[in-house]
Amino acid sequence: MDLRTAQALIRFGLGRRGNEPLPTDPAVWLRDQLRAPDPSHLDPRPNSATAAAAFLADRASKPKPEDSRVRALFRSEVKAELDNALTTPAPFRERLMWFWTNHFTVSARGGIAAGACAYIEEAIRPHVTGRFEDMLFAVMRHPVMLRYLNNAGSVGPDSRAGQNGKRGLNENLARECLELHTVSPAAGYTQADVTSFAKILTGWSIDLRGNPPGFLFRPFAHEPGSHVLMGRTFPPGEEGGVAALHFLANHPVTHQFLARKLVLHFIADEPPVDAVRRIEGVLRDTGGNLGAAAEALTTLDAAWQPGAKLRTPQDFVVATLRALDLPDEQRGQVNVQGILANLGQPFQNAPQPNGWSDHANDWAAPEAMMRRVDWAYGVSGRVGTRDVASLAEANLGPLLRDDTLLAVRRAGSRRDAMTLLLTAPEFQRR
């Protein structure tokens, strides 16, 4: 394996799976993943109809936690998502899906767990190589986001529903959409812009009993009149929100913000300015085409310099299990969801709407590293009769250091050898 192949598998992918065939040309392998349809097949595929049914059933029967349909659904869907990551032949796409899911964070607390994976499958995955505007639109109209950031019950103070003064505005979604999803504080918007955008988004709500359940615009709750957001006037009605999202998605500062986040994820914790500028240019010139931006990332020299990023717990656990490539039955026994929670990164459950950090310092606290070490030792018990030295070479290629290989060869047991491989710094990095 040459260095570029190793880098393609590790930096852009999720780590090599067992002895899977190596790509003949790593750049082409990555590009083809972006151009071909998403090959993942989740069974059953999470969707809003199932989510709404579970949510309504729990609301009606108020079950004990162990009998909750929402909880059972969330567990089985997370398992399917993670199993897909362990087996997908298009790991670059999967990493992009993770990236955008984190950009548009929702957190699976309470009823939101019911739709947390449907949200991925309906709002994120279909758009990872499409236009940013389409993803933003799908996110902002998805019931899970409308509930997570409290827009579903937001009512215009001068709307018909707001006339009696009992209900009114909630600005949470409007604020986080500006700050975290689109233009970022660098655009210099004000509190008046936040309030105005919140008014524009009044009426953007949920119909859980629809067929299928999903977005519903409620004119009764919509604040009348046109509203000014960042110097632009937007008309009343649902189309005002649509136009505002179109404006925000294509704002130059949004492109800059997204470019910086992509470079941060794929190149280095301190994003090189020229790389950011390049990706920003691609987003601008293609009207926010995320597939084009992803492909441009693979053409940057800086992206092929190994080891600049620390694997997050999710990266680390998935790369480990791909390296071990357990038989289906054994793979099914591993509680990946529980492990991720124990290592501090529970799936679809970031503590705040800004999602998981992409900076090594936030993941390299001593105890966090110790937990990785301990889990590595635990999972290494599953190494079986594999030859760990050849597994190490197959997985890391030229990135494998002599010291590590020597320690692996000298280890007293296969389990110890596997632990040393998994905890070596070159395996912690991507």
Partner 1 sequence: MALTRRTALLGLTAAVSLGRVSLALAAAPTEKRLIVVIQRGALDGMAAVVPYGDPALMGLRGEIVPPAPGQPDGLLDLGGYFGLHPSLASLHAMYTAGEAMPVHAVAGPTRVRSHFEAQDCLESGAEHRMTSGWLNRAVAAMPAMTTSRPEGEAIAIGVSVPLLLRGSAVVGNWAPHGIAAPPPDLYTQIATLNQADHLTGPAIAEGLRERGYSASVMSDDTSRPDRYAFPALARAAGELLRAPDGPRIAALEIGGWDTHVAQVPRLKRVLEQLDAGLDALKQGLGDAWPQTAILTMTEFGRTARVNGTKGTDHGTGTVAFVLGGAVAGGRVMADWPGLGSGRLLDDRDLMPTTDLRSVAKGLLVHHLGMPAAAIAEVFPNSATAQATSGLIRA
Binding site for partner 1 (CB under 8 A): 150, 153-155, 157, 162, 167-172, 175, 179, 185, 191, 194, 310, 341-344, 346, 349, 351-354, 360-371, 373-375, 377-378, 403-404, 407, 416, 419-420, 423-425, 428
Three-class secondary structure of residue 123 per DSSP:
helix
Residue 72 or residue 360: which is nearer to partner 1 going by CB? 360
CA dist., res. 292 & res. 286, Å (int) = 7
Q: How far is the CB of 176 from partner 1 (least distance, A)?
A: 9
Shortest Å distance, C-beta 167 to partner 1: 5
H or E element in which residue 234 lies: strand 232-234
DSSP annotation of 289: B
- Report the residue number, 171 or 315, with the smaller CB distance to partner 1: 171
Q: Given the complex with partner 1, which of 35 and 166 has the nearer CB atom?
A: 166
| Token pair belonging to 181 | 């999803």
CB of 175 to partner 1, least distance (A): 7
Question: Which CB sits closer to partner 1, 292 or 421?
Answer: 421
Contact 204, 151 (CB under 8 A): yes
How many whole angstroms separate alpha carbon 307 and alpha carbon 301?
Answer: 14
Dihedral angle, C-alpha 293, 295, 299, 304, nearest 10 °: 100
Which residue lies nearer to partner 1 by CB, 169 or 290?
Answer: 169
Residue 112, CA distances (Å) to 51, 223, 377 in order: 9, 26, 34
How far, in Å, CA of 93 to CA of 129, rounded?
8
Q: Which residue shows structure tokens 């679809």?
A: 348
Give the nearer residue to partner 1 in terms of CB position, either 214 or 346.
346
DSSP 8-state secondary structure symbol assigned to residue 42: -
Minimum distance between the CB of residue 280 and partner 1, rounded to whole angstroms? 22
Q: What does the alpha-carbon distance between residue 320 and residue 18 come to, in Å, rounded to a whole number?
A: 10
Quote the least distance from Cβ 290 to partner 1, whole Å.
Answer: 24
* Cβ 71 to partner 1 shortest distance, Å: 15
Task: Please state whether 90 falls in left (phi above 0), alpha (psi between -120 and 50) or beta.
Answer: beta
CB of 419 to partner 1, least distance (A): 6
State both tokens at 76: 């089985």
Query: Which token pair is 144?
Result: 């899970």
Nearer to partner 1, 191 or 385 (CB): 191
Secondary element (H or E) of residue 282: helix 273-285
From the CB of 38, what's the least distance to partner 1, in Å?
30
Residue tagged 């635990």 (tokens)? 378
Of 29 and 55, nearer to partner 1 (C-beta) is 55
Please give the Cα distance from 427 to 422 (Å, whole number).
6
